Structure 1
Amino acid sequence: MTRIIAGFAGSLSLQVPRSGTRPTSDRVREAIFSALEARDAIHGARVLDLYAGSGALGLEAASRGAAEVVLVERAKPASEICRRNADAVGRADGGGHAVRVRVVPRAVAAYLEGAAGPVDLVFVDPPYDLSETALAHDLELLAPLLSDDAVVVVERSSRSPEPVWPAGLAPERRRDYGETTLWWAAPDQPARPSQPE
C-alpha cells in the first residue's frame, strides 16, 4: 500500500496499479521530500510527475503545497488510477488549498513536445527497463521547460548508468537507497559576462 506522507492529505491511502509500475518506497519518498522542503522547492511550485504510475510523487507535492501538478502516464490502467488518486487528494483538500491536479494519459515524449513551461519541480521515474537513449531524449525535451531555479529528480535502478544530461541541465548529486538511485539535477545557468566597470 502507498500513502501520502504529509501535508493536508497526509496518511491518505493511494491505489497502485496491479502491474507495470514500480512505486517509489516510503523511505525514498521521505528522503526526496525532506530534501525538497529543506530547499523550499515545493510551496507554490508547478510540478511535473513523468511516468507517474500511481501519481504518488506528484500528489505528495500537491499535499505539501504545490500550486499545480501534472501527472503524465501513458498506460491506461495506471492513468485511471492516477485520476482516482487525484480525486481522493482533491476531496481531502476540501477546497482549502486550490491546488490544480491534471492527469495526462500520453507518452512522456509526446507530452513534453507540446508542453509549455516554466516548470519548477519535476519527478522522472521511468520503468527501469526504459532505455538510456529514451531517457536522454525525455531530458532533452524537458530542459527548455524548466524555470531558472527548477529541481529535477530522476529515479533509476542502482545498476543503471548515470543519465545522459542534455545541454541546459546539470547533475547536482547522487543518492543511493538499496536498489534505487536518485539523481538530482538543476538548470545549468550559463556564466553571465562580466559588466564593464
Structure 2
Amino acid sequence: MRITGGALARRPIDAPKGDRTRPTTDRVREALFSALGSRMELRDARVLDLFAGSGALGLEAVSRGAAHATLVERHGPTLAVARGNARQLGVADRVRTLRADALAHLGAAVDTATRFDLVLADPPYDLSEIPTLPGLVRPLLAPGGLFALEHDARHDFAEADGLVFSRAYGRTVVSVFGAGA
C-alpha cells in the first residue's frame, strides 16, 4: 500500500497483518480523493477517520493538505500500525490516534463542539449499523462538510438524505453525503 497523492505521494504505508481489516485499495483511495477534491478544499481541513485500520484514508487526507486527522480504531494492534504509519510518514504531529469503538465515539463526539470538514468511514461490510452511519455522522460535519462511506453493494443509499454521489469500484462502493441535507 502507498499514499496516492499530495506531499507524501508514493510513500509506502503498512497494513495490519492477517484478515482482521480490509484496507481500502490504492485505486479506490485515489479515485475517492480525486472526486472529493472537486467538491471541497482539503487544505487545512479537519478530518475524522472512523474504523481507521491502517489509517490509510486519514493519512491520505493529511498528505493532500488536511491540517489534522483523528484516526479511530478499536483494535489496539491495528491502531499501533496506524500510529506507526503516521510516524513513518513524518506527520504524527498532525494525526491523533484514538483507541475506541467508532460507533461509541460518534455518540460521544456529538456532545462536543468539534466539527469536521471530512469524515471517512471504512467499516466492516457486515456491520449492521452501516445504514445508520450517515445520520449519526451528520451532526459532526462542519458547514459544507462531507462524509465518505465505503461499503459493498448490499447497501443502497440512492434515496438517502444528503447523498452527493455514489460510485462503485468493483465490489467496493463509496457513497458521499453532504452536511446540509
TM-score (norm 2): 0.89
Are 1:8 and 2:2 matched, yes or no?
Answer: no
Q: Distance in 2 between matches of 1:164 and 1:17?
A: 35
Are 1:86 and 2:92 matched, yes or no?
Answer: no
In structure 1, which of residues 144, 149, 154 is the aligned counterpart of residue 144 of structure 2? Answer: 149
**In structure 2, what is the equivalent of residue 195 of structure 1?**
none
Structure 1 residue 36: Cα displacement: 1.8
- 5 Å-filtered alignment, 1:130-141, equals 130-131=127-128, 134-141=129-136
**In structure 1, what is the equivalent of residue 49 of structure 2?**
49
**In structure 1, what is the equivalent of residue 178 of structure 2?**
186
SS in 2 for 1:120: strand
Are 1:109 and 2:103 matched, yes or no?
Answer: yes
Deviation track 1:54-85 (CA, whole Å, cap 9, x = no partner) reads: 10010010011101100011111211101101
**In structure 1, what is the equivalent of residue 37 of structure 2?**
37
- Are residues 184 and 137 of structure 1, via their aligned partners in 2, closer, same or farther at CA, if it must alter by over 3 Å? closer
Q: Distance in 2 between matches of 1:104 and 1:58?
A: 13
**In structure 2, what is the equivalent of residue 171 of structure 1?**
163
Identity of counterpart residues, as a percentage?
43
Q: Distance in 1 between matches of 2:115 and 2:32?
A: 21
Structure ID, larger Rg: 1
Deviation track 1:138-182 (CA, whole Å, cap 9, x = no partner) reads: 4333221111100111110123333995xxx61112111110111
Runs of 4+ in 1 over 6 A off after TM superposition: none
Structure 1 gap segments, 5+ residues each: 190-197
Q: Which residue identity lines up with residue 159 of structure 1 in the other structure? A: R
Structure 2 gap segments, 5+ residues each: none
Deviation track 1:5-36 (CA, whole Å, cap 9, x = no partner) reads: 12222111111012211111111111111112
SS in 2 for 1:127: coil
Q: Which residue identity lines up with residue 85 of structure 2 in the other structure? A: N
Are 1:161 and 2:153 matched, yes or no?
Answer: no
Matched-pair contact (CA < 8 Å) for 1:73–1:108: yes
SS in 2 for 1:13: coil
